[in-house]
Amino acid sequence: MQAKTKKAKALPPRRSIYFLPNLFTISALFAGFYAIIAALKGVYDNAAIAIFIAMIMDSLDGRVARMTHTTTPFGAELDSLSDMVAFGVAPALIAYSWALSNLGKFGWLAAFIYTSCVALRLARFNTQENKSKHYFAGLPCPAAAAVIAGLIWANKAHDLPPVWLTISLALITIALGALMVSNINFRSFKDFNLKNNVPFIVILSVVLILVFVSIDPPRVLFAIFALYALSGPCTALWNKFRKNKPLDQNNEPPDLLN
């Protein structure tokens, strides 16, 4: 009798999970979770520092994945979940525990608005097609989290914050949420390639930034990310002003009939 040949069943392709980029993503998630624990214990300095560490880890995982050609859908989904914890839930809970709880219902609503805007921004970013390499549509959530963490870290007094500071934090939190879900363009700096040659002024600028950060890290980092958050609206208003500006006599187009 002839042996019947059985067709081997085609196995589904295995989804690769790479260790190195996901290690940075998990590290960012760990830093965000630690920030929540530190805030619950009232150690707001450590909570704010953990947010900035999560930012560093989050910026490295994507670059490492692209440099090592290990970009996978699994890594992208894990990165979004990590961002939601580190830059969505953690900053909102830190702000609420530090000051917003003194405002009652308005305080936790401000924190919820921020958290929900982070979720909406991440969902929009993941489903967005034809993403620009030069600009983000809306304020990136790590930068928004850095503004909140920098403001809290810059304030050395961890007792009951003044009323004006509490209200300002609530308004800033809501404004950051609105910027994240807006269509305002923010520079992404993804086109900055570390492999290419850069002008000398770029290296000098990096050195000066490191010097300024070392002088007073909380205030300098807060100022840097606050200016970045303001850069988008200011640029949009400037472009709109230039577009709607009427032509004066010096800027009139030439008369082609003469």
Which CATH number is 48's domain given?
A: 1.20.120.1760
- The model's pLDDT over 65-91, given as tens digits with 9 standing for 90+, comes to 777 777 788 888 888 999 999 999 999
Q: Which pair of tokens denotes residue 18? A: 């790479």
- The model's pLDDT over 101-160, given as tens digits with 9 standing for 90+, comes to 999 899 999 999 999 999 999 999 888 777 777 788 889 999 999 999 999 998 865 556
- The model's pLDDT over 194-238, given as tens digits with 9 standing for 90+, comes to 566 667 777 787 788 888 888 888 888 999 999 999 998 998 888
Task: Check: CB of residue 95 under 8 Å from CB of residue 148.
Answer: yes
In a domain, 59, yes or no: yes
Among candidate residues 182, 190, 67, the one with its CA nearest the CA of residue 134 = 190
Q: What pLDDT does residue 208 have?
A: 84
In a domain, 257, yes or no: no
Q: What pLDDT does residue 15 have?
A: 57
Average pLDDT over the chain, rounded to an integer: 82
Task: Check: CB of residue 213 under 8 Å from CB of residue 146.
Answer: no
In a domain, 248, yes or no: no
In a domain, 58, yes or no: yes
Q: What pLDDT does residue 71 have?
A: 76
Look up the domain containing 61 and give its range. 19-242
Domain tally, the chain? 1
Q: Can you give the pTM of this predicted structure?
A: 0.82
Tell whether the model's pLDDT for residue 46 goes beyond 90: yes
Q: Which pair of tokens denotes residue 184? A: 């305002």
In a domain, 13, yes or no: no
In a domain, 249, yes or no: no
Q: What pLDDT does residue 89 have?
A: 96
In a domain, 63, yes or no: yes
In a domain, 256, yes or no: no
